[in-house]
């Protein structure tokens, strides 16, 4: 039996060490080894965005990253989005504007939307829709998701 | 059984404090922080991973399965095949369910499970699958339902004889499960009165429910045969009863806990992983988790029926529809159970029709067994009906909504299936549509506008629930109906409204199957209605008990106490001068009065108010490529009473966008080899955020008199007219209405060429 | 199934050596957006993955001879964020932007898009029309190969065992020239091209097209570089007559198949439609990039 890889990475500011097999994705490790199950798997082929995380500051599908590639990486997941008791404005606006129904797509969409607003604090509706095109939602028809992002963006701009 | 069914106590003048607002869902917090536990988020110590081996062939005898090498692989703890399932007769409900879970004599579709393995890691489980040898005798297959009806088609089941057929054909081997005729009046006579007749044929393709959460379950079977099961399901009790049937278990020994549900839309009303996970766990003596991959979800969990239909209707010059006639073929996969009978019942139910004839067929073929989807089998039929209706209106020069108004049914209408409607809101819905901004604004240049209507029965059925009062006066509700989008919150709101307390003092949870009596599946737009009835009933029982206790504390007769705004008060100053007692005041003293206070209710709920909707859509079609773009969309629908308007809007919007996907791109593509070619989100093209505009909504509220707050189910209607509306809009845009789903660019481009050749293409 | 190994060498030489000596299936891992999916869906079972992202030279975009050298491990998003590159080669970036979602582009590379060997790869046609040249490093020698010579057939390239693309050279953008790429897909995003067309053209001071390259994607087993399409443009002012000729030439050049993503008839027709639209866009850009 082959040996597993021993790696260390930082998730949401905390250092983790873990063992993994070569073919395991970052998503597999987050969920099955580190028990950070907030990141979801919808397809494992990069087509749904439910597994979205930030990898060294960039929005990525954690199912399309091998865990062995992540030595020393800085990962951001949904578990690190709120500051203590205080929800991120995106989280709060999704709640208040019903930007989620079943909620399975929500962690990925929140992470993706946060990454958008970091680069572009005032995106148009079209920009939001194209940025989120990699995040499937089957419940909402996207309307309330887009409105939630718009409202959060506005709030974060202090407008 | 329960007073609430006889006297729901709907009061049109009641002023609500909580109903009609949209507070934040209590279960939402965990969903925005990643803490919510969906099915795949369960882990147990010592848990094994289970994986399926699936058939590569669409149709074959399974001669032999050799699992010996797999069993010997280190780390493999159990292998399960057909031999581990109790033998149940083919062609029975249980026999079919068992064979869908695990192939027996034959495999019937590409992806049909033939074996499963549980191992200490996924890697080992996958390796073990490769060591299983299956000896198949490949048989000719048939994918298309019409081909399956042909005389020389490969026969799936030797035992099958068409139900509803008499004469010599009744004894023939066939793939047609049933022929159903549902008619009223005399269609042939009716057509004689028609000035205009329109008839077309249509086909629709299977679409997948498309939930983002793949099926997953964890089963844990103890040595004495007790089963614990965690899974994502719309129907815990249905799963329990079916699992006991196919695995020969005692209901008392199986406890199912539903997880958060990552989308279902009908697709999680039947099980896939669960029976196999149970058998693996039983053999391995350890918990087993089975999670499907997306490819497995696409290949082996229920899509919806594809159809072939022919629809004909006729009207008089003044717009009165005089007759309708339709023939419908529904593909069901290899086994019966498509719920196709909904279609003839619902397809024309909006219009006052004296003469209707429908003949429907359900046909088996070598595809995965279909599963429910929002308004099962109805949108496919409506795709044709609403085209014919719009064309009739056009032919006599009438506005399409006016034409529908002229023929609209109202209170007192007796349906084709025998129900007589009480108060319904179809006319109000049509009027609201005519008055809405979208319909009043001109069609933008170069675009086409379509409208179409839909109907769904809405359902009730067996439901149980419990409401508990805590010593601090807060309330918790135990529900048996799965929460697909926020129904827990609606229940909390209804209880809070009845009690007159803030909704933050109420919490609802979802029970396991040991904690409540039987609950029917969450489907058919029944949950907020049915569980809502239960909650209000149980709440009222608690209120009655609170007044009894207050009377006792004060030493006055019970009718001397009234309950309002969360307090018991003396009914009048004659009763005495008592300080009002809050729910907390009474609940905290239950030890001294008569013990804990809770209310339970169980009913076979009736009185679901039928739902009607109309969709308006503007599209733009690229005449050089056939690409359709949805420019503007409005859903107008009667909700009876919107408990939480934002949630109702969410149902309208989500349903419409699912329908847009079905209309434009979603389909199952098979090769000549009978294998599915687009088993993934890349090539099974569901709408992405940049494909659709905002979806406007108009909530019409014509209260359902059979519910204390007047609500009607809202989940199914929004998908029923969508494809028809989009089709009608494309038709307006290019001059010929597409009649085959999905309305893809190549198909639309061909129609544009045809329209150009015939001089039908509108100038713009 | 033998065990899958992972190596992340720090030099190109070491990477080439690893690939050359591997007996089983070895795959280069850059963005991983194709390789990981193919492994996940059991299409391939490699025994060695060579991660080239630790090789510093492969991660850079550098200016060279007025053009750009783009390392093979540079991601799509990194290219999109490079202002000078975007300005010079907007058509190449049209293609890069369509490779996949934001998430996918954060990882996916143009080299991977090319080496995956799909005729529908979105970045390949505009790289070809741009005249991009790949620098390929092998165990023995380094060679410079125009991008159009790399794909051989679906899934196959002319890279020999042990060879790795080190970088691409995008030449200096000539004066009065512009490029563009468009594809047709049923969805706005998250889709595979049914047809793709890239055009790069150069005008003289009078607005007459003096040079053009036209490349069609997804209409044949590999991308097609069409001389006939180019000829339809050269010597014209890219007027209606030229566009008609171009569209006809594009449709005539197609050798498509019927598959789940499109029909022969549809692809042939839309290739002409897109060629026309892309030419107009490239023309506008050529007029702007003076
Ligand atoms: S799970 Fe990663 S994109 Fe779907
Ligand atoms: S809320 Fe259910 S998939 Fe988005």
**For position B589, what pLDDT does the model report?**
84
In a domain, C56, yes or no: no
pLDDT above 90 covers a percentage of chain C that reads 92
pLDDT of residue C1: 44
The pLDDT tens digits for B66-102 are 999 999 999 999 999 999 999 999 999 999 999 999 9
Position C277 pLDDT exceeds 60: yes
The domain in which residue C146 lies consists of: 61-170
Cis geometry, peptide bond prior to residue A7 (ω within 30 degrees of 0): no
For residue C35, what pLDDT is reported?
Answer: 95
Arithmetic mean of pLDDT, C157-179: 95
Do B402 and B494 reside in the same domain of the chain?
A: no
Which one of B579, B605, B631 terminates a domain? Answer: B605
* B692 interaction partners in chain A (CB closer than 8 Å): 141-142
Do residues C201 and C273 share a domain?
yes
pLDDT at B308: 97
pLDDT tens per residue across span B250-288: 999 999 999 999 999 999 999 999 999 999 999 999 999
Domain's final residue, options B547, B570, B605: B605
Q: Minimal CA–CA distance to A96: which of B698, B29, B651?
A: B29
CATH number of the domain that residue B394 is part of: 3.30.365.10
Residue B380 has pLDDT above 80, yes or no: yes
Contact B737, B728 (CB under 8 A): yes
On whether both B687 and B618 belong to a single domain, the answer is yes
Please check whether residue B682 lies inside any domain of the structure: yes
Flag whether residue C188 sits within 8 Å of chain B, measured between CB atoms: yes
What does the pLDDT look like over C85-142, one tens digit per residue? 999 999 999 999 999 999 999 999 999 999 998 999 999 999 999 999 999 999 889 9
Instruction: Dig out the tokens for C75 from the structure.
Output: 């991601």
Task: With beta carbons less than 8 A apart as the criterion, state whether B367 and B334 touch.
Answer: yes
Instruction: Answer whether residue B622 is part of any domain.
Output: yes
Distance CA B453, CA B699 (A): 15
Q: Which of C6, C40, C51 sits opposite A45 (nearest CB)?
A: C40
Q: Cα-flanking dihedrals φ and ψ of residue B276, to 5°?
A: -75, -40
Q: Is the pLDDT of residue C60 over 80?
A: yes
CA distance B206 to chain C (A): 15
Residue C185 CB coordination number (10 Å)? 22
pLDDT band for position C289 (cuts 50, 70, 90) = low
Give the mean model confidence (pLDDT) for residues C246-250.
98
Question: Which ipTM did the prediction report?
Answer: 0.97
Question: Are residues C86 and C21 part of one domain?
Answer: no
Mean pLDDT, to the nearest integer, of A55-71? 97
C-beta separation of B629 from B617 below 8 A: no
The rounded mean pLDDT for chain C is 95
C-alpha dist (Å) from residue C59 to A54, C73, C93, C136: 19, 5, 18, 15
State the burial class of residue B147 (Cβ atoms within 10 Å of its Cβ: 0-12, 13-18, 19+): middle
| Mean local confidence (pLDDT), B355-377 | 97
C128, C155, C170 — which closes off a domain? C170
The CB of A133 under 6 Å from ligand 2? The reply is no
Ligand 2 atom closest to the Cα of residue A102 is 2
Q: Quick check: C101 contacting A, CB < 8 Å?
A: yes
C-alpha distance from C45 to closest chain A C-alpha (Å)? 10
Give the pLDDT score at C2. Answer: 59
- Give the pLDDT confidence of B550-584 residue by residue, as tens digits: 999 999 999 999 999 999 999 998 989 999 999 99
- By the 10 Å C-beta count (0-12 exposed, 13-18 middle, 19+ buried), C110 is classed as buried
Q: Is B545 in the same domain as B582?
A: yes
A26 → chain C, closest CA residue: C36
Place of tokens 């989500």: B654
Structure confidence by residue, pLDDT tens digits, B114-140: 999 999 999 999 999 999 999 999 999
Residue A1 predicted with pLDDT over 70: no
In chain B, whose CA is at the least distance from the CA of A22?
A: B123
C263, closest residue in chain B (CA to CA)? B746
CATH class of A89-157: mainly alpha
Average pLDDT over every residue of C262-289:
95
Tell whether C192 is within 8 A of chain B (Cβ): yes
Q: Is residue B148 situated within a structural domain?
A: no
DSSP string, A22-81: TT-BHHHIIIIIS--TTS--S-SSSSS-TTEEEETTEEEEGGGSBGGGGTT-EEE-GGGS
Let me know if residue B57 belongs to a domain.
no
The answer to whether residue B345 is domain-embedded is: no
Counting from 1 in the atom list of ligand 2, the atom nearest the Cα of A100 is 1
CB-closest option in B260, B650, B655 to A98: B650
Residue for token pair 């007025």? C66
* Residue whose tokens read 């180019």: C230
Query: In the sheet where B461-469 sits, what is the strand order?
Result: B506-510, B475-479, B461-469, B598-605
Q: Could you tell me if residue C214 is inside a domain?
A: yes
Asked whether residue B69 is domain-assigned, the answer is no
CB-based contact B689 A107, cutoff 8 Å: no
- DSSP state, residue B82: G
Whether A91 and A23 have beta carbons less than 8 Å apart is answered as: no
CATH code of residue C113: 3.30.465.10
Q: Where is the domain boundary, B605, B624, B659? A: B605
Contact (CB<8Å) B658/A91: no
What would the mean pLDDT of B715-722 be, rounded to a whole number? 96
The string of pLDDT tens digits covering residues B301-324 is 989 999 999 999 999 999 999 999
Q: What CATH number belongs to A4-80?
A: 3.10.20.30
- Domain with residue C212: its CATH number is 3.30.390.50
Residue B203 counted as domain residue: no
Instruction: Please tell me if residue A19 touches chain C, with a CB cutoff of 8 Å.
Output: no
The whole-angstrom separation of Cα A130 and Cα A29 is 29
Q: How far is it, in rounded angstroms, from Cα B376 to Cα B303?
A: 11
Q: Are residues B452 and B464 in the same domain?
A: no
Mean pLDDT of B720-736: 98
B541 in the same domain as B487: yes
C190–A133 CB contact, under 8 Å: yes
Chains that contact B by 3+ CB pairs under 8 Å?
Answer: A, C
User: pLDDT (tens digit, 9 = 90+) per residue, A4-50?
Assistant: 999 999 999 999 999 999 999 999 999 999 999 999 999 999 999 99
> Is C65 at the interface with chain B, CB within 8 A?
no
Residues B595 and B626 in one domain: no
**The pLDDT of residue B7:** 83
Its domain, for residue B577, covers 3-36+460-605
- Could you tell which of A41, A107, A137 is best to mutate to test the pocket of ligand 2, judged by most ligand atoms within 8 Å of the CB? A137
Asked if B533 and B480 count as a contact pair (C-beta separation under 8 A), the reply is: no
**In angstroms, rounded to a whole number, what is the distance separating the alpha carbons of residues C48 and C76?**
25
Please indicate, yes or no, if residue B356 is contained in any of the structural domains.
no
Among A1-15, B389-403, B594-608, top mean pLDDT goes to B389-403
Residue B1 reports pLDDT greater than 60 = no
Ligand 2 in reach of A141 Cβ (< 6 A): no
Do C278 and C203 share a structural domain? yes
B422-440 tens-digit pLDDT: 999 999 999 999 999 999 9
Would residue C265 count as lying in a domain? Answer: yes
Q: How far apart are CA B7 and CA C283, in angstroms?
A: 74
Q: How many domains does chain B have?
A: 2
- Quick one: B505 and B406 in the same domain? no
| Chain C touching partners, 3 or more CB pairs below 8 A | A, B
Average pLDDT in chain B: 96
C252 interfaces chain A, CB cutoff of 8 Å: no
Assess whether pLDDT exceeds 50 at residue B33. Answer: yes
Q: Calculate how far, in angstroms, residue A109's C-alpha sits from the geometric centre of ligand 1.
A: 12
Give the pocket of ligand 1 (CB within 6 Å). Answer: A 41-44, 46-51, 61, 63
Q: Is B625 on the interface with C (CB under 8 A)?
A: yes
Closest CA to B207 of B368, B442, B408, B90: B368
The mean per-residue pLDDT over the stretch B328-346 comes to 96
C158 with C189, same domain: the answer is: no
Same domain assignment for residues B590 and B632: no
Q: Is C3 on the interface with B (CB under 8 A)?
A: no
**First-residue to last-residue Cα distance in chain A:** 59
Asked if B480 and B447 sit in the same domain, the reply is no
Say if ligand 2 is within 6 A of residue A132 CB: no
**Which chain A positions have a beta carbon within 8 Å of C189's beta carbon?**
130, 133-134
Question: Based on the domain organization, do B622 and B716 belong to the same domain?
Answer: yes
CB contact under 8 A, C189 and B744: no
| Confidence at residue C140, expressed as pLDDT on a 0 to 100 scale | 86
Q: Please determine, for residue B591, whether its predicted confidence score (pLDDT) is greater than 80.
A: no
pLDDT tens, residue by residue, B629-671: 999 999 999 999 999 999 999 999 999 999 999 999 999 999 9
- Judge if B453 and B477 occupy the same domain: no
Measured at the alpha carbon of residue A35, what is the angle toward residues A30 and A37, in degrees to the nearest 5? 70
Percent of chain C with pLDDT over 70: 99
Q: Write out pLDDT tens, residues B666-710.
A: 999 999 999 999 999 999 999 999 999 999 999 999 999 999 999
Picking from B667, B673, B738, the residue whose alpha carbon sits closest to that of residue B306 is B667
**How high is the pLDDT of residue C279?**
98
The per-residue pLDDT for A2 is 63
Is there an atom of ligand 2 within 6 Å of A57 CB?
no
C-beta atoms of C190 and A134 within 8 A: yes
B401 CA → ligand 2 middle, Å: 33
Domain boundaries, given as residue ranges, for chain A: 4-80, 89-157
Beta bridge partners of B563: B568
The DSSP code sequence of B419-476 is -B--S--HHHHHHHHHHSHHHHSPPPTTEEEEEEEEEE----EEEEEEEEE-TTS-EE
| Residues B427 and B478 reside in one and the same domain | no
Task: Return the bridge partners of B1, or none.
Answer: none
Q: What totals of helices (H) and strands (E) does chain B contain, helices first?
A: 21, 26
Number of domains in chain C: 3
Q: Is the pLDDT of residue C157 over 50?
A: yes
- CB burial string B706-741: b at 16+ within 10 A, e below: bbbbbbbbbbbbbbbbbbbbbbbbbbbbbbbbbbbb
Asked if C190 and C284 sit in the same domain, the reply is yes
């Amino acid at each position: 039996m082959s040996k597993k890889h021993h790696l260390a990475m930082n998730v949401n500011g905390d250092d983790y060490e873990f063992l993994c097999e070569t073919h395991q994705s970052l998503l597999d490790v987050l969920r099955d080894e580190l028990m950070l199950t907030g990141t979801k798997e919808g397809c494992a082929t990069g087509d749904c965005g439910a597994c979205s995380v930030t990898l060294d500051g960039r929005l990525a599908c954690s199912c399309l990253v091998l865990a062995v590639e992540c030595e020393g990486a800085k990962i951001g997941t949904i578990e690190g989005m709120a500051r203590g008791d205080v929800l991120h404005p995106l989280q709060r606006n999704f709640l208040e504007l019903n930007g989620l129904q079943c909620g399975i797509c929500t962690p990925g969409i929140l992470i993706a939307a946060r990454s958008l607003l970091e680069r572009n604090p005032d995106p148009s509706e079209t920009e939001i829709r194209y940025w989120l095109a990699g995040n499937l939602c089957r419940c909402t028809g996207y309307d309330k998701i887009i409105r939630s992002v718009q409202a959060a963006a506005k709030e974060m701009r202090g407008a | 059984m329960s007073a609430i069914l006889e006297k729901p106590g709907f009061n049109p003048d009641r002023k609500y404090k909580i109903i009609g607002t949209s507070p934040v869902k209590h279960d939402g917090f965990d969903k925005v922080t990643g803490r919510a536990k969906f099915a795949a988020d369960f882990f147990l110590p010592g848990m094994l991973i289970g994986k399926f081996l699936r058939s590569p062939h669409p149709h074959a005898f399974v001669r032999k399965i050799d699992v010996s090498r797999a069993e010997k692989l280190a780390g493999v703890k159990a292998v399960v095949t057909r031999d581990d399932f109790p033998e149940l007769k083919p062609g029975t409900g249980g026999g079919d369910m068992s064979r869908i879970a695990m192939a027996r004599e034959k495999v019937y579709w590409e992806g049909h499970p033939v074996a499963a393995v549980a191992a200490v890691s996924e890697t080992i489980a996958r390796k073990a699958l490769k060591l299983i040898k299956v000896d198949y005798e490949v048989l000719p297959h048939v994918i298309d339902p019409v081909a399956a009806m042909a005389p020389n088609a490969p026969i799936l089941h030797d035992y099958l004889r068409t139900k509803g057929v008499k004469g010599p054909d009744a004894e023939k081997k066939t793939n047609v499960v049933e022929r159903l005729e549902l008619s009223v009046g005399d269609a042939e006579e009716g057509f004689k009165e028609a000035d205009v007749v329109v008839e077309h044929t249509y086909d629709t393709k299977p679409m997948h429910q498309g939930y983002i959460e793949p099926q997953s379950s964890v089963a844990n079977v103890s040595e004495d045969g007790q089963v614990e099961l965690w899974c994502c399901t719309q129907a815990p009790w249905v799963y329990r009863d079916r699992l006991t049937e196919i695995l020969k278990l005692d209901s008392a020994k199986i406890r199912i806990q539903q997880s958060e549900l990552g989308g279902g839309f009908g697709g999680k009303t039947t099980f896939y992983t669960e029976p196999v996970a149970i058998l693996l766990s039983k053999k391995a003596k350890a918990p087993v988790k089975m999670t499907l991959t997306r490819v497995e979800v696409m290949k082996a969990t229920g899509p919806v029926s594809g159809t072939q239909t022919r629809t004909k209707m006729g009207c008089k010059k003044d717009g009165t529809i005089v007759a309708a006639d339709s023939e419908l073929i529904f593909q069901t996969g290899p086994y019966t159970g498509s719920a196709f009978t909904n279609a003839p019942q619902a397809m024309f139910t909006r219009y006052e029709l004296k003469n209707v004839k429908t003949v429907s067929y359900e046909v088996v073929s070598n595809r995965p067994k279909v599963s429910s989807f929002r308004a099962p089998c109805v949108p496919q039929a409506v795709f044709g009906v609403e085209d014919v209706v719009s064309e009739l209106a056009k032919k006599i020069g009438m506005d399409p909504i006016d034409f529908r108004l002229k023929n609209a049914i109202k209170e007192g209408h007796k349906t084709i299936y025998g129900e007589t409607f009480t108060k319904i809101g179809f006319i109000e819905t049509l009027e609201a549509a005519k008055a809405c901004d979208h319909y009043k604004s001109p069609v933008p240049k170069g675009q086409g506008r379509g409208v179409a209507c839909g109907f769904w029965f809405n359902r009730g059925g067996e439901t149980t629930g419990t409401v508990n009062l805590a010593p601090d006066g807060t309330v918790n509700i135990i529900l048996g109906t799965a929460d697909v989008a926020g129904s827990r919150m609606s229940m909390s709101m209804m209880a809070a409204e009845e009690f007159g307390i803030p909704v933050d003092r109420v919490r609802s949870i979802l029970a396991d199957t040991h904690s409540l009596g039987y609950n029917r599946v969450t489907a058919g737009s029944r949950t907020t209605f049915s569980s809502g009835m239960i909650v209000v009933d149980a709440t009222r029982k608690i209120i009655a008990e609170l007044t009894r206790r207050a009377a006792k504390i004060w030493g006055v007769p019970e009718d001397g106490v009234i309950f309002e705004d969360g307090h018991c008060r003396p009914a009048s100053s004659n009763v005495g001068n008592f300080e009002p007692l809050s729910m907390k005041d009474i609940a905290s003293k239950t030890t001294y009065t008569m013990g804990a206070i809770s209310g339970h209710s169980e009913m076979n709920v009736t009185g679901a108010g039928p739902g009607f909707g109309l969709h308006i859509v503007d599209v733009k079609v690229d005449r050089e490529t056939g690409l359709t773009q949805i420019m503007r969309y409005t859903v107008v629908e009667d909700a009876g009473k919107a408990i939480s308007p934002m949630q109702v809007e969410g149902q309208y919007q989500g349903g419409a966008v699912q329908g847009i996907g079905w209309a434009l791109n979603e389909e199952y593509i098979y090769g000549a080899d009978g294998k599915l070619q687009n088993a993934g989100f890349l090539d099974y093209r569901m709408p992405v955020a940049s494909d659709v505009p905002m979806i406007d909504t108009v909530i019409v509220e014509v209260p359902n008199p059979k519910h204390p707050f007047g609500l009607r189910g809202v989940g199914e209607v929004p998908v029923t007219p969508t494809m028809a509306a989009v089709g009608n809009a494309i038709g307006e845009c290019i001059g010929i209405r597409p009649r085959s789903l999905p309305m893809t660019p190549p198909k639309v481009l061909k129609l544009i060429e045809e329209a150009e050749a015939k001089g039908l293409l509108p100038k713009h | 199934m033998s065990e899958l190994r992972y190596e992340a060498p720090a030099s190109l030489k070491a990477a080439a050596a690893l690939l050359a000596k591997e007996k089983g299936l070895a795959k280069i891992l850059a963005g991983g957006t194709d390789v990981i999916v193919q492994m996940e869906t059991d299409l391939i079972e490699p025994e060695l993955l060579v991660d080239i992202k630790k090789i510093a030279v492969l991660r850079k975009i550098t200016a060279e001879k007025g053009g750009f050298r783009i390392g093979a491990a540079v991601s799509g998003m990194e290219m999109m964020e490079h202002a000078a590159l975007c300005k010079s080669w907007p058509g190449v970036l049209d293609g890069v932007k369509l490779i996949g979602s934001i998430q996918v582009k954060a990882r996916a590379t143009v080299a991977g898009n090319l080496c995956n060997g799909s005729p529908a790869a979105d970045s390949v046609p505009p790289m070809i029309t741009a005249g991009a040249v790949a620098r390929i490093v092998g165990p023995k020698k380094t060679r410079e190969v125009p991008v159009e010579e790399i794909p051989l057939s679906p899934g196959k390239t002319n890279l020999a065992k042990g060879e790795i693309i080190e970088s691409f050279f995008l030449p200096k953008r000539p004066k009065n020239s512009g490029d563009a790429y468009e594809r047709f897909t049923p969805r706005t995003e998250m889709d595979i091209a049914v047809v793709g067309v890239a055009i790069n053209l150069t005008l003289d001071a009078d607005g007459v097209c003096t040079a053009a390259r036209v490349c069609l994607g997804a209409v044949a087993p590999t991308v097609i570089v069409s001389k006939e399409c180019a000829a339809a443009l050269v010597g014209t002012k890219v007027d209606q007559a030229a566009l008609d000729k171009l569209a006809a030439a594009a449709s005539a050049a197609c050798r498509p198949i019927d598959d789940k993503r499109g029909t022969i008839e549809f692809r042939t027709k839309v290739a002409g439609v897109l060629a026309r639209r892309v030419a107009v866009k490239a023309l506008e850009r050529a007029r702007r990039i003076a």
